[in-house]
Amino acid sequence: MGSNVKEYKCPACSSALAWDAGLGKLHCASCGNDFELDAVELLTEAEEAQQEFDWSAYKEGLTGETLDDTVTYTCRSCGAVIETSATTSATRCPYCDNEVVLTDRVEGGLKPNGVIPFKIRSEDLPGIVKDFYKGKRLLPRNFFQDSKLREIQGLYVPFWLFDGAMDGTMILNGSVSRSYVEGQYDVVETQHYLLERSGDVQFTHVPVDGSTKLSDDLMDSLEPYDFSELRPFDGAYLAGFVADRFDSDPDAELPRAQERMTNTASALIMNTAAGFAPQVRSNGMALHNAAVKYVLLPVYLINCEYNGQKYQYAVNGQTGKVVGELPISKSQKWKWFFGVAAAVCAVVTALGLFLQ
């Protein structure tokens, strides 16, 4: 595999260590010991300094340092390229649920600036998903099977975290109305205003996913993440998990981040004219001093199939939030419909008897 691969071994028994999301430590399944990240010696003869992602250098083609503490898997079905630590045994693709194979060489991606480690354990997923669909009567029975949930692989999704400042001036149309009675008439008097509002808003950590294989709406719905728990990247966090490589760079995703900043800044400024029922006439808010960091955020992906259609769900690996579109069982729909109809008929019948 090459001598530059980091192997996280148990100091007590030399077995492979994996990141325990619940404990926030490295765990040895063989002897049961747990270790803090900085207490584990990396079994490498020499480790070259690795440069974190730098947007300016990347744009100029100068970012040549790679993440050498990973091995690479390639999905036979969808072609996804995922990375993990040398001690992780990955067998299924988190995107399409098909088999993946280990490539014959180590290929490092660019080193992230940071990572939010998994806090949700895979064994907690059945309960979390059950709470998600609890009370949803139209969901097909056994749609989420426990056996399926036990096969889920945690995935670190590449995200761009944008910082920046929005400032500028907005021109708003405003109006104030009052109603009164004059003689026998109801009068509505409306005064119209042309409003000018200026302001500036600072933004930090506006997340945009860097994977085209995942739905933007799905990833946006997983928010919020607690970025106070963002840590410097270390390959040990990948032990037991896999990481996707970004395939959409910051320049391609900056418009999405800028749109989010613009919408937020505009809403804040419009709130200063809330009493005038404001409508935007022109928006001169502009983005300045944009900067970006490359981070990995924890996600569990659940792939299910019903009536020949595939459904994908995502679980925030830090908070446990579940998002995704649920299918509707036709048989359950009709049972629910006839059940409601029967209940309505029973109420009408009882009301008729009461009125007689």
Give residue limits of the domains in the chain: 17-161+208-251+295-325, 332-356
Q: Which of 330, 302, 298 is nearest to 317 (CA)?
A: 298
Indicate if the pLDDT at residue 331 is higher than 70: no
Distance CA 334, CA 356 (A): 33
What is the structure's pLDDT at 133? Answer: 77
pLDDT band at 208 (very low <50, low <70, confident <90, very high): very high
- In tens, the pLDDT along 82-123 reads 777 766 655 677 887 776 665 544 455 678 899 999 999 888
Distance CA 58, CA 79 (A): 25
If you search the block for the tokens 């969901």, which residue do you land on? 139
Indicate if the pLDDT at residue 132 is higher than 90: no
Distance CA 104, CA 101 (A): 9
Q: Which residues of 170-194 are buried (b: 16+ CB within 10 A; e: fewer)?
A: bebebeeeeeeeeeeeeeeeeeeee
| Residue 211 contacts residue 244 (beta carbons within 8 Å) | yes
Q: In which element (H, E) is residue 251 found?
A: helix 250-271
Amino acid identity, position 23: L
> Sign of the C-alpha dihedral, residues 121, 123, 127, 132?
positive
The listed range with the strongest mean pLDDT (72-86, 137-151, 187-201) is 187-201
Indicate if the pLDDT at residue 283 is higher than 80: yes
What number is the average pLDDT over the span 9-29? 69
CA 39, chain centre distance (Å): 30
Distance CA 73, CA 316 (A): 23
pLDDT band at 15 (very low <50, low <70, confident <90, very high): low
What is the structure's pLDDT at 266? Answer: 95
What number is the average pLDDT over the span 186-199? 94
What is the structure's pLDDT at 228? Answer: 94
Of the listed ranges 32-46, 105-119, 213-227, the least confidently predicted one is 32-46
What is the structure's pLDDT at 69? Answer: 61
pLDDT band at 190 (very low <50, low <70, confident <90, very high): very high
Indicate if the pLDDT at residue 157 is higher than 90: yes
The pTM for the full model equals 0.74
Of the listed ranges 89-98, 260-269, 292-301, the least confidently predicted one is 89-98
Of the listed ranges 94-108, 130-144, 334-348, the least confidently predicted one is 334-348
Q: Which of 103, 98, 110 is nearest to 86 (CA)?
A: 103
Q: Which of 198, 189, 157 is nearest to 296 (CA)?
A: 157
The average confidence (pLDDT) of the chain is 77
